[in-house]
Amino acid sequence: MQLLAFVAFALTAVAPTPHAVSAPAHQRSGLVPLKTIKALPSQSVVTATTMPVGVITDARAWAKVKTAAKLALPKVNFNKQMVVYAVLGAQTNSLSFRSWTVKGNQATLQFHWSGIEPYYFDRTPAVFAIVDRGSIKTVNFVEVGKWRKGALSRGSVAVR
């Protein structure tokens, strides 16, 4: 028996932050199967902690990830939207969405990394958000929480 029948992904609409041009249309934080990591687009930035972060800008790549992750998210209009994500790549801890901010052509996905210590047999924590593309050229990924105060950059990805 798995340690937990972990919390079902919560679907929420997020209110804009002071500098946000638009808030995510939808976001989900929770556990996904480990095989999701292999389905992520090749442009993912893999940080030192084996945490892929990235942007999905086409339906084919999204279908592959969505199927592997067993996600039930609304349809994405890739002419106007994209999917941003962070996947821990470890079978412990948790990730949760914090904010999506846009300033000019730069956007930032901020997520919280909690150091909780359960073991997930075949799953890993992840955050996915469907956001408006607008004129965004670069998405920055910032982690808050875990064992430190402040924030830590987890990389940047150019939007194509």
Q: Which of 10-14, 23-27, 98-102, 141-145 has the highest mean pLDDT?
A: 98-102
Q: Is residue 140 part of a domain?
A: yes
Q: Is residue 58 part of a domain?
A: yes
The total domain count for the chain is 1
Q: Is residue 115 part of a domain?
A: yes
In the structure, what pLDDT confidence band is assigned to residue 119 with cuts at 50, 70 and 90? confident
Summarize the confidence of residues 84-111 as an average pLDDT.
90
Q: What is the C-alpha separation between 142 and 6, in angstroms, rounded?
A: 24
Among all chains, which residue has been given the structure tokens 């067993």? Answer: 70
Average of per-residue pLDDT values in the chain: 80
Lowest mean pLDDT among 9-13, 35-39, 117-121: 9-13
Lowest mean pLDDT among 19-23, 45-49, 62-66, 85-89: 19-23
Q: What is the C-alpha separation between 111 and 127, in angstroms, rounded?
A: 8
Summarize the confidence of residues 19-37 as an average pLDDT.
81
Q: Is residue 8 part of a domain?
A: no
126, pLDDT greater than 70: yes
Q: Which domain holds residue 142?
A: 26-158
pTM for the predicted model, two decimal places? 0.80
In the structure, what pLDDT confidence band is assigned to residue 148 with cuts at 50, 70 and 90? low
Take residue 24 and report the two structure tokens written for it. Answer: 């995510």
Q: Is residue 4 part of a domain?
A: no
Burial status of residue 48 (CB atoms within 10 A of its CB: 0-12, 13-18, 19 or more): exposed
Q: Is residue 9 part of a domain?
A: no
